């Protein structure tokens, strides 16, 4: 929690308590359903929660915006972002029923009213959203093919609708076929060694 308080000192009491509750709920649920690597659960706050929150250092979603989290797994980045943006609607999807059950339960436990979940593959989802977010479920070109249909052509924010993708390592070859994308280095705002190679790709989608 110290990392979250350090980087996000303006959290409300409710938001702070919600983030604090995740530190108990995830280890408990992870014993029953493996949504985070058992070896990595001790790094929950930095590797999963703070990593998800990095998006909020670069992007702000207007009230009543809609965000789709594809391949949410244990609820990342969707749940941390839903805590940060309580007036934004988040839809978290995954193809694995057990993971969606955990995400749904945790969202209810901490009182999130702005999260809905679906067990579905993105190929079968045809709803439109302002933004699509994810944590590196596949190569960026593959993700683009799967998810571009889910980005709405109606713009409600100053920021053009599009894809916001958390990714690490060397992926620049993957981006050769794309134009007008931006890459943000997370280690510009978070100093922990984990973030040295972590980036955010933002690709606006213009219909």
Report pLDDT digits (tens) over 135-153. 988 999 999 999 999 999 9
| pLDDT (average), residues 111-137 | 96
The fold of 2-204 is Rossmann fold (3.40.50)
pLDDT at 206: 81
Report pLDDT digits (tens) over 153-191. 999 888 999 999 999 988 989 999 898 999 999 999 999
Q: Where are the beta strands (DSSP E) in 88-195?
A: 89-94, 115-119, 131-135, 162-168, 182-185
Can you give the pTM of this predicted structure?
0.96
Q: What is the DSSP letter of 4?
A: H
Largest CA distance in the chain: 45
Domains of the chain by residue range:
2-204
């Amino acid at each position: 929690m110290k990392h979250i308080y350090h980087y996000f000192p303006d959290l409300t009491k409710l938001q702070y308590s919600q983030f604090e509750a995740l530190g108990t709920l995830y280890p408990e649920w992870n014993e029953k359903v493996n949504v985070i690597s058992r070896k990595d659960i001790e790094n929950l706050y930095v590797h999963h929660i703070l990593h998800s929150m990095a998006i909020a250092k670069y992007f702000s979603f207007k009230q009543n915006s809609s965000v789709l989290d594809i391949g949410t797994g244990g609820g990342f980045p969707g749940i941390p972002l839903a805590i940060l943006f309580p007036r934004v609607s988040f839809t978290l999807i995954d193809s694995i029923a057990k993971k969606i059950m955990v995400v749904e339960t945790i969202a209810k436990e901490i009182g999130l009213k702005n999260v809905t979940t679906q067990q579905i593959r993105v190929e079968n989802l045809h709803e439109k959203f302002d933004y699509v977010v994810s944590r590196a479920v596949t190569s960026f070109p593959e993700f683009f093919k799967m998810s571009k249909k889910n980005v709405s052509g109606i713009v409600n924010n100053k920021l053009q609708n599009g894809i916001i993708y958390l990714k690490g390592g060397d992926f620049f070859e993957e981006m050769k076929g794309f134009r007008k994308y931006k890459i943000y280095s997370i280690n510009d705002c978070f100093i922990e060694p984990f973030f040295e190679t972590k980036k955010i790709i933002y690709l606006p989608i213009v219909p």
